[in-house]
Structure 1
Amino acid sequence: MVLINKEIKKFRIYMFFYWAMMLSVVGMYTMYILELGYSKREVGIAVTIYTMSSLVGQSFIGYLVDKFGHIKNIVLVSISMGVIVGIGFPFTRASWQIYLLILIWGFFVAGVSPLNDAWCINILKKYNQQSNFGRVRGFGSIGYGFSGALLGVLLQSFGWRIYGFYITAAVIIMLAVTYTISDNENAHGSNQNQKNETDISFKEAISVIFRTRQIVIMIIIMFTYNFAMRGIYNYLGILVGDFGGGALSLGLTYFFDASPEIVTFFLTSRLLKKFHSKRLILAAFVLQIIRLTVILIFSNAVAVISMGVLSGFAFGLVTASYKTYIYNLAPAKYKASCLSLSESIIGISAITSAPIFGFVFAKFGTNSAILFGLIINILAALVMLKDIVFLRKTA
């Protein structure tokens, strides 16, 4: 019991600082690009590059861990690439330089995100505590919200000249935290020397996903949810800016967005015992529908900030639900690959939504983009409701 408590505490700290670090770039780079004088079209290109690079990075890094193990070393090398981004941002003079830095962050730093979850779930599984993943992941939301508020205040007080220093400091702290975690086991909890490296096949990992019907259904559900959610979220900097908000408003939006995630992450273990994952995800769709409706009606920064609470509740519900669901369905030696590849497939929705929503934002305006996302959420929620009712009648 003492050992599991020690390991859980380390992962809580790890999650806190990882997502605090992620916010420094993911949360602010769209507004930063606008501050440099670039257009919404160029912001859209940057968002697309980030999305694509993170998806490729997730699949590639997950595959490396399944094949070679040494998860800690791979994570350390990947995250250390973020130092280049922090140092490079203040010296960018052309759009291609920004695109390159965003690509590096997406591929290496964001690329370890599903790997972190698989690493954590595996530790919990050793003690038959995987249903408590949400309670550990919830500390990531605390870090994300805290970092958003802190960075927003700092940018408001000192301007964007401190942005690169903040990113670099966040990455260095994260490396120090990662170094404290023991790596005496691989992603599956078995000794690496007992595993033949040739046993792992990238092609087989993909086939495992498509042979498992339940995983495919969950991927389709999350694909739709992610398309609308990321379509709006990726351009939150533009959304807040168009409604008259600045860096502080954007930081507070992330704070109010992340704070409720803590509650739902902590409650998910109980909710999953009472409700099927699909019902929890349907509830997330409903919350997003309410959120976008309110923002569309009031069309101001206050509505965006306050409705971040509903978005946070929704994110907590879906993340803890579908990740543990997929992880438990995957075969033992392909858990990291299946989770990473599923994340990548789901993330394809973000690749398609990034340029589509970017075009809508630039061509038709902010309200049209919100309405577009609202319609998608309503249609998907109706389809899910019909499916849940049908399954209930069949049962």
Structure 2
Amino acid sequence: MKFQFKGSYISYILLFTFYFFALGIFSSIMSIYLSGIEKTPAEISFIVSSVGIFSIVTQPVVGYFVDKTGNPKLISTLALLLAGISGVAFMFFQNTLLLFLLNGFTLAFINGVSPINEKLATNSRFRYGNIRIWGAIGFAIASQIAALTYDFISPKFNFVLFFIAIVVSLIGYYGTSEVETTKRSSLHDISFKEVSVVLSKNIPFIIFLLITLLFTGMTTVNNTYLPLLIKASGEQVSVVGTVMFLATLVEIPIILFSHLFLDQLSIKRLLSISFIIIIIQFSCYGLFSSMSIIMVSAFLFKALATMLFIMITLKVVISIVQPDYVNSALGIAATWKAIGGLVFQIFSGMIVGVSSIKTLYQVFVGFSIIGLLLVLFLRMPNQENKSLFNGKDPTT
């Protein structure tokens, strides 16, 4: 029987493995790379904060044009190609302002595609977990390869690997099924005003955006400062990469068996679990000096918390937003994630500058408790989506 790439499982493997490999190779040890070219903690925070600033624009725009054109593959392709170009350019400069701009462009365009990919995974004939698992594998491998490349080849070679991964992910993209969108007869049938008016009246969605700002703001900063916390103990960069690699592997069973609990547990319970996880995680980072405890905590909780929240976001938006505005709502949620990252990166740079990374994590414990309390005010519909992560064909 002749193999057909279109709609095949292989196409999803290529897309998710190399999309997340690109994200991991570029971002997993970014703080260490910047430290290695003699950037101060304040400069590192400034450069990394660019993602939030740029994403405030790119995230809703990407979601808006997907809803408006009904052509998610075209919009995603353009965004990823722009990310690839700016990501390769990153290796040629050391000026702080230029690095700020290039880091912002690269990750903002990559993150802009993320909501589309998550929805694509739920829209295929394959079960969500069987597709999304390859993203975890790709990011885990990238974390380890980025560290080994940094130590034994060249830190700059990671940016070459990044561009190659972008190209391969695009090959996979064109073999996947289309993301469900409401196709408009005219590009003028939907406007930013229409989207903003509809979503601004959705109170549960507004509260969830506040929760998103808190949760993802802190976890985004964690990606910046955890590698520095581990490296400060005298460990090699390759050891940091191994910790990130093992931490990401924890995502695999969560993703693979997501249909067994994400469709069954309520959104409020899932959100509560997510905040409890980061409370435990940040407490270990902030209160214990033992590097063994810090590494075990990173292994057990780092990727678990962020992956769980990504899947919860998908469930929340699809459950409480009208179908015509789902992609726009996912883009707006991603924007608030970016705003949270921006605000917390600036705030964190100030805290670390006057105190220490451990103090920062102690403050994060307090913010996490506030987030957990905020979940109590979230009112969800009685009929939540109960088959989102099962796929159209549960046997596949």
- Give the secondary-structure state (helix, strand or coil) at the position aligned to 1:197: coil
Q: What is the number of residues matched between the two proteins?
A: 377
The Cα offsets for residues 34-66 of structure 1, whole Å up to 9 and x where unpaired, read as 110111111111111122212321111111111
**Which of the residues 267, 291, 303 maps onto 1:312?**
303
Instruction: Report SS of the residue matched to 2:247.
Output: helix
Q: 1:337 corresponds to which residue? A: 328
Q: Which residue of 2 aligns with 1:174?
A: 169
Worse-superposed segment, 216-225 or 330-339: 216-225
Normalised TM-score (structure 2) = 0.86
Query: Distance between the aligned counterparts of 1:85 and 1:304, measured in 2?
Result: 34
**Aligned equivalent of 2:286:** 296
**Shift of residue 301 of structure 1?**
4.6
CA shift in 2, pair 1:138/1:332, >3 Å: same
Which ranges in structure 1 are unaligned for 5 or more consecutive residues?
A: none
CA distance in 2 between counterparts of 1:21 and 1:71 reads: 20
The answer on whether the counterparts of 1:261 and 1:315 sit within 8 Å (CA) in structure 2 is no
Aligned counterpart, 2:346? 355
Aligned to 2:262, the other structure's residue is in SS state: helix
- 1:311 shift after superposition: 2.1
TM-score, normalized by length of structure 1? 0.86
Query: What amino acid maps onto 2:280 in structure 1?
Result: I
The aligned counterpart of 2:266 is: 276
- Quote the residue 1:188 is aligned against: 180
CA distance in 2, matches of 1:13, 1:337: 26
Structure 1, 62-71 or 77-86: larger mean CA deviation: 77-86
Aligned residue number for residue 136 of structure 1: 131
**Could you tell me how far 1:368 is from its partner in structure 2?**
0.6
1:1-395 → structure 2 map (5 Å cutoff): 6-7=7-8, 9-121=10-122, 123-124=123-124, 132-181=127-176, 185=178, 187-189=179-181, 192=183, 195-299=185-289, 301-308=291-298, 309-382=300-373, 384=375
One-letter code of the match for 2:34? Answer: I
Give, in whole Å, the separation in 2 of the partners of 1:384 and 1:80.
38
Inter-partner Cα distance in structure 2 for 1:55 and 1:139? 28
Distance 1:149 1:94 in 2: 27
- Amino acid of the residue matched to residue 102 of structure 1? N
Distance in 1, matches of 2:24 and 2:74, equals 23
Q: What secondary structure does 1:93 align onto?
A: coil
C-alpha displacement at 1:357, in angstroms?
Answer: 0.8
Distance 1:166 1:85 in 2: 13
**Cα deviations across residues 122-173 of structure 1 (Å, max 9, x unaligned)?**
x24xx6x8xx434432321121111111222222222314223222222222
Cα 1:143–1:55 change in 2 (3 A) is: farther
Alignment CA distance shift 1:382-1:46 (3 Å) = same
Q: CA deviation at 1:110?
A: 2.4
Please give the root-mean-square deviation of Cα atoms over the aligned residues, in Å: 2.8
- On the 8 A contact 1:231/1:373 being kept in 2, the answer is no
Counterparts of 1:197 and 1:320 in 2: how far apart (Å)?
30
Identity rate of aligned residues, in percent? 20
Contact 2:20 2:136 in 1 (8 A): yes
Any idea what the Cα deviations from partners look like across 1:187-244, whole Å, max 9, x if unmatched? 4346x4x632211111221222222233223223232222322232233333233232
Q: CA deviation at 1:278?
A: 1.4
Closer, same or farther in 2 for the Cα pair 1:32/1:300, shift >3 Å?
farther
Question: Do 1:144 and 1:254's aligned partners in 2 also have CA atoms closer than 8 Å?
Answer: no
Q: Deviations over 1:43-91 (max 9, x none)?
A: 1111111222123211111111111232212212211123323432332
Structure with the bigger RCO (C-alpha within 8 Å, sep 6+) is: 2
- Per the alignment, do residues 358 and 386 of structure 1 end up closer, same or farther by CA in structure 2, a change over 3 Å counting? same
Structure 1 pair 249–232 and aligned structure 2 pair: CA distance change class (3 A): same
Q: Residue in 1 aligned with 2:386?
A: none
Higher alpha-carbon deviation: 169-178 or 39-48: 169-178
| Distance in 1, Cα, partners of 2:8 & 2:207 | 33
Separation of aligned partners in 2, 1:385 and 1:181: 38
- The 1:341–1:383 alpha-carbon spacing in structure 2 relative to 1, beyond 3 Å, is closer
State whether residues 89 and 164 of structure 1, in contact with CA within 8 Å, keep that contact through their aligned partners in structure 2: yes
Shift of 1:294: 2.1
In the alignment, the residues of structure 2 paired with residue 204 and residue 235 of structure 1 have an alpha-carbon distance, to the nearest angstrom, of 39
Distance of 1:216 and 1:86 partners within structure 2: 33
Cα distance in 2 between the residues matched to 1:93 and 1:34: 11
Instruction: Measure the CA separation in 2 of the matches of 1:273 and 1:113.
Output: 21
Higher normalized helix content (fraction of residues): 1
Q: Distance in 2 between matches of 1:246 and 1:280?
A: 36
Q: Distance in 2 between matches of 1:9 and 1:169?
A: 18
From the superposition, tell whether residues 91 and 383 of structure 1 become closer, same or farther in structure 2 (CA, over 3 Å): closer
